[in-house]
Each structure stands twice: as C-alpha cells, then as structure tokens.
Amino acid sequence: MQIEFNSNEPNLFLAQGEGYIGPFRPSEVYEKLQNKDVSWVDHCYREAEGQWMRICDHPLFKMLQPEAPKPKPKVAAPPPPPKATAPAVKWFLFQNETQTGPYAEVELKRLVQIGQVMAGAFVWQETFADWKPIHEVPEFSAGAAAQAQVQAKPAERRAAPRKPLVAQIYLTNQKEISSGVCRDISIGGMQVLTDALPGATGEKIRLNVMPPGSTGLKPFVAQGVIVRILEDRRGFSFRFTEINEEARASIERYVS
C-alpha cells in the first residue's frame, strides 16, 4: 500500500535501544512499518512536536493523512529517547511431572521457603538452554538446600507409628495465638489442621493439646518445630523438641 505524504522531509528520528537513528523521511518510516523493521508502538521524534511519541500516535501516521509540517531550515538533534525498562525474569517450575508458571522470582522463593517446592524440582527461564535442578540455581540454592534437609528425612518423620487423634489445640509462635485440631499423633510429633498457619517450615511453636477424656490422654504442653506444610496449606506436620516424660509415656501407650 502506497501512501502519499504532503511533506517528505527527512526530519523523523526513530528510537533504537538507548539511542536513536535518522533522520528519515515519513515515506521511509512508513516503508519500515510495512517491512516490520519497526512497529507502530516504537517511538519517533520530530522537532515540530518536541517530544518522543509512539508512531501510531504521531500526527503523520495516526490517520495516515498527515498535516504538512512547517519548513525547517535545519533539523535539530532530539533529546535521548526514553530508556527501555528491562523485562522482569519469569521462572517456570517442573516437579511431579507437572510444569507450572511463570512465576516472579519473589513468588518462587516464597514457594521454596514454605515447602511447596520439592528438593528434586527443576526450573527454567528464557536465558537457560535447558531445565536446571533448582538447587543449582543461585537465586534459589540456599532455600532449596534448606528444604532438601527437611525433605530428606522421611524415615525420621515416620519412624514412630501414628494413630488418629481428634483433639483441640491452641498454638502460639510467640507473636499470636491461634487454634487447630490434631489429626494424628506419635511419640515424635503430630499433624495439625488449622485455617491460619503459624509460620513456615522451620518455625518454632508451642502447642497446648487437650485430648478427649475417652482417649486416656491428659492435656499436655509441647514445644517443637514445623517440619512440613500440607499441600492444601490447611495444616502442618509438627515435631516435638520439648515434652515432659509423663505426656510422652501417655502418648506411647495410646499409639501402641
């Protein structure tokens, strides 16, 4: 498609990176648009407007019926064009035979910290030639290594037999108090269901457990650490670090 411009003076500059090229005639700019060497949302500058604007907004091209520019004996050099903002890196995650994403870096770091990313997971972003193990990527290596230590101890978490137990629990992380329900218990710890997580994996908390009288268990207090956040984030697994011998013996009788 040929467009006839009222004036075809070489007075247009085009932004290129952090610099500019030109001057070009309007017909030359339009030819570049046709050849897709530039796009309608690239910036151009003409002294008549005195500012950079998108080609699609420029009066020469907006309606493809430009007004005749005022003659200028000399085309002045324009100011530097707007600096391009580097796009944010987007990360993709692969685990359990499933790919998810894209994630911002801060989002993926949070998933690692709360235990939602497995130690054997892979990540990718557009500068990578292939998927990389998450523990080899500097942005996530520290969090992934810490999470791997927790995930590498399934035998320890399941060394003691568990038994279902429905008991009211009050818990605190020394900042706020919330409540939950015990789902099962062993002499090493318990699983707790709650609407408000008291912290992330590794958080130290204190529990006040009140079992039903029919279980033979007496109310007891225990301190420990969160070792895993449940997949649906409606609870967590808890390992005892401090519990009195009477409570431990009572739990042992119950689960056996």
pLDDT at residue number 59? 87
Is the pLDDT assigned to residue 205 strictly greater than 90? Answer: yes
147-161 average pLDDT score: 51
The answer to whether 18 and 83 have CB atoms below 8 angstroms apart is: yes
**C-alpha distances in Å from residue 214, one per residue of 25, 54, 73, 219:** 91, 76, 100, 12
pLDDT digits (tens, 9 = 90+) for 177-202: 889 999 889 889 999 999 889 999 99
Res. 37 pLDDT band, cuts 50 70 90 = very high
The residue with greater pLDDT, 183 or 87, is: 183
pTM as predicted:
0.39
Question: Mean pLDDT of all residues in the chain?
Answer: 83
* E strand or H helix that includes residue 148: helix 141-151
Looking at residue 156, its pLDDT comes to 43
| Range 40-54 average pLDDT | 92
Examine the pLDDT at 21 and tell me if it is beyond 90: yes
Nearest in space to 45 (alpha carbons), one of 72, 10, 74: 10
Lowest mean pLDDT among 45-59, 86-100, 106-120: 86-100
* Model confidence band, residue 146 (pLDDT cutoffs 50, 70, 90): low
